[in-house]
Amino acid sequence: MAHEMAATTTTSRVAPTHPLEPLGPDELAAAVAIVRREKSLDARALFETITLREPAKKAVRGFTPGTQFEREAFVVVLDRNAGATFEAVVSLSQNRVTSWTHVPGVQPRILAEEMEEVTRLVKADPRYLEGLRSRGIDDLDKVWLDAFAVGNFGAEEERTLRLIRPHSFYVERPQDNPHVRPIEGLVPVVDMNAMKVLRVEDNGVKPLPGDPGHYSAADQPSLRAPLARLEITQPDGPDFRVEGHKVTWQNWSFRVGFTPREGLVLHTLSFTDGGRDRPVIYRASVSELVVPYAETSGDHYRNHSFDLGESGLGTCVNALKLGCDCVGAIHYFDVHMASARGAVVRYPNAICLHEEDYGVLWKHTHPITRDTAVRRSRRLVVSSFYTVGNYDYGIFWYLYLDGTIQFEAKLTGILYTGAIETGVTPAYGRLVAPNLNAMIHEHYFNLRLDMSVDGDANAVMEVEADLVPTGPGNPHGNAHGARETLIESERSGARDIKPELGRYWKVVNRSRTSAMGWHPGYRLVPGASVKPMHQPGSPFMRRAGFVAHDLWVTAYDPRELYAPGDWVNQGIDGPGLPEWARADRPLVDTDVVLWYTLGVFHLPRPEDFPIMPVEYTGFMLKPTGFFDRNPTLDLPQSHCHASKATARVPAP
């Protein structure tokens, strides 16, 4: 596994203090024990998911500290003997399984424990060993197998069997870069339920790339002098407070959550304004991250990895380190999850909470008095990092003093590569080292934003520039306003960005009106994005139909959490957002959810090898009519210190 983890030895029961507190280690262990006891599971059964079954919004909002509340776990079990998948609801309060449902025709995500078994199985298969020998490789200790989902291209075995197609890489030393020397063309196809190698496909021998792609400091021929020390200190301590998983900072309040599939989740974000706690978002999370590739050779056409639905983003979380991942006065949240075999595992320092200075918030020099008023901006950062195969993703949420919310993803790690013959120019990739093809691909993040602007009764307006043609009403050609369109139902709720008109979407509460006549709202300010590169009707677009539009607006349904639907691995046609939108539920003055997709086009370059500098993508949610005026007027004057080197000296 790419992340750090340690087995939990906690035995004492810690009572949760809020209905949205993530399941603790004792609760996870209890859920495993209850399911095993009641369903007589043998050792081959695997737990794909054990997570909190979040209570209804009404129960969360009606909760008062000290009162009793029901605790339930949602559990997904893979019975490999029967080739069957089950969803369970476990009442931890009642110590029993309250729901056990067989879900036919689906495959849970690929589990790390399965991949360990697959590696041992493949390395013992004579057909695979012969393929290695034909490539001049006989040391199995130098062969590493990477999990590679099969997708679904219409074959019968993809419908009926639980499959994996691991790709092989040559790794000279354990500490070497494991993704840059592909053993091209040798692909075992494994039935993971039966744990049987069905066949070994050989698409032809290609040269083994020779560049080891070293990126560690110890392997560099020389290092530049260390950077001058830069220290971030907060002598008075941080400005945030943490109670369990509840965080308060300045006027913000929210709860930190985490699931094995989504990773970091933010709950119940609200802003205190004039002594009143005003909700903004009920739940915010990444709902899917999918990475489709352009390469057509070998079996690379199959590569469109769903990093949540096939891999489980949360299970790939890193242990963060002070001074490297986060700097300053830090609060870390540990995460506990159950392994596929039911062991409770602690992931230390999985979520980082800290503050950052963010330059000037606002400033003005008075033209008469020449007095300058300045306020420094500061933001609260909630972040986590995930290693999914070759890629590393940072998921960052920023909260600002003026009520702005920002999402940012940071993309880094190692390029996905294939071997290529000497002298050949790849058509759908770029040569980044001798015989090494870095494949063209995209990253699509979909964010699920369960909005609650001053309450659940919200509406969504599309806002864009309204250009007035030159004529009697616009004789000088300068007039332009803003046009607002109410999104009335789900069939009209699939929308696209239009940068040339500054298009954005505004969630408003029309039951409230400010002193200036505004309905309180928050607008989604799009970031840079790309449209789908795969052709309509292609296997990728059938599975990831949500990328067809930048924004979808749906009516709230607690069962709709993931843009491509619940069951992604080996799925062929969703369901997900395109199917839900066909219900055409009304969207006016009701509980609405925004689903926003960010697309990043990655055309590899030499500077991305052997490890990629961070690429950034994201968007903002900005208050629009939510406040009567600038909400930071009550900030004290920022301290300004004149430097001897730069202070202006009066002329003699």
Q: What average pLDDT score do residues 569-575 get?
A: 87
Return the ∠ at Cα 550 (arms to 549 and 555), rounded to 5°: 80
Q: In this structure, is residue 637 part of a structural domain? A: no
Instruction: Please pick, among 26, 176, 299, 307, the residue that the annotation labels catalytic.
Output: 307
Strand partners, 619: 407
Residues 202 and 254 occupy one common structural domain: no
Q: How far apart are CA 456 and CA 450, in angstroms?
A: 9
Per-residue pLDDT tens digits for 232-242: 999 999 999 99
- Per the annotation, the verdict on 307 as an active-site residue is yes
Q: What average pLDDT score do residues 60-88 get?
A: 96
Total Cβ atoms within 10 A of residue 591: 18
Q: In this structure, is residue 650 part of a structural domain? A: no
* β-pair type (429-433, 436-439): antiparallel
Label residue 35 left, alpha or beta by phi (over 0 means left) and psi (-120 to 50 means alpha). alpha
Q: Two tokens at 611?
A: 């490890």
- Per the annotation, the verdict on 391 as an active-site residue is yes
Dihedral pair phi/psi, residue 113, rounded to 5°: -65, -35
In sequence order, the 6+-apart residues with CB closer than 8 A to the CB of 350 are 258, 317, 318, 319, 320, 332, 333, 334, 335, 384
Residue pair 460/505 in contact (Cβ under 8 Å)? The answer is: yes
Residues 430 and 542 occupy one common structural domain: yes
Per-residue pLDDT tens digits for 129-160: 999 999 999 999 999 999 999 999 999 999 99
Residues 335 and 446 occupy one common structural domain: yes
Q: How far apart are CA 564 and CA 574, in angstroms?
A: 6
In total, how many domains does the chain have? 3
Residues 291 and 434 occupy one common structural domain: yes
Amino acid symbol at 463: V
What was the pLDDT predicted at 643?
Answer: 55
Residues 71 and 209 occupy one common structural domain: no
Q: For residue 586, how many C-alpha atoms fall within 13 Å in the half-sphere facing its CB?
A: 5
Instruction: Please pick, among 391, 393, 504, 522, the residue that the annotation labels catalytic.
Output: 391
Q: In this structure, is residue 617 part of a structural domain? A: yes
What was the pLDDT predicted at 642?
Answer: 59
Pick the last residue of a domain from 217, 238, 260.
217
Q: In this structure, is residue 168 part of a structural domain? A: yes
Residues 540 and 577 occupy one common structural domain: yes
Is the pLDDT score of 93 beyond 60?
A: yes
Residues 92 and 191 occupy one common structural domain: no
Q: In this structure, is residue 123 part of a structural domain? A: yes
CATH code of 83's domain: 3.10.450.40
Domain containing 209 equals 112-217
Share the mean pLDDT of the chain: 94
DSSP alpha helix (H) spans, 535-591: 539-543, 577-581
Is the pLDDT score of 190 beyond 90?
A: yes
Amino acid symbol at 225: A
Q: In this structure, is residue 257 part of a structural domain? A: yes
Burial of 88 (0-12, 13-18, 19+ CB in 10 A): buried
Q: In this structure, is residue 83 part of a structural domain? A: yes
Is the pLDDT score of 6 beyond 90?
A: no
Residue pair 550/497 in contact (Cβ under 8 Å)? The answer is: yes
Q: How far apart are CA 200 and CA 165, in angstroms?
A: 9
Q: What average pLDDT score do residues 3-15 get?
A: 47
DSSP 636: P
Residues 157 and 69 occupy one common structural domain: no
What was the pLDDT predicted at 639?
Answer: 79
Residues 118 and 170 occupy one common structural domain: yes
Label residue 580 left, alpha or beta by phi (over 0 means left) and psi (-120 to 50 means alpha). alpha
Residues 291 and 418 occupy one common structural domain: yes
Q: In this structure, is residue 636 part of a structural domain? A: no
What was the pLDDT predicted at 550?
Answer: 98
Residues 164 and 77 occupy one common structural domain: no
Per-residue pLDDT tens digits for 383-428: 999 999 999 999 999 999 999 999 999 999 999 999 999 999 999 9
Residues 256 and 209 occupy one common structural domain: no
Q: How far apart are CA 405 and CA 379, in angstroms?
A: 9
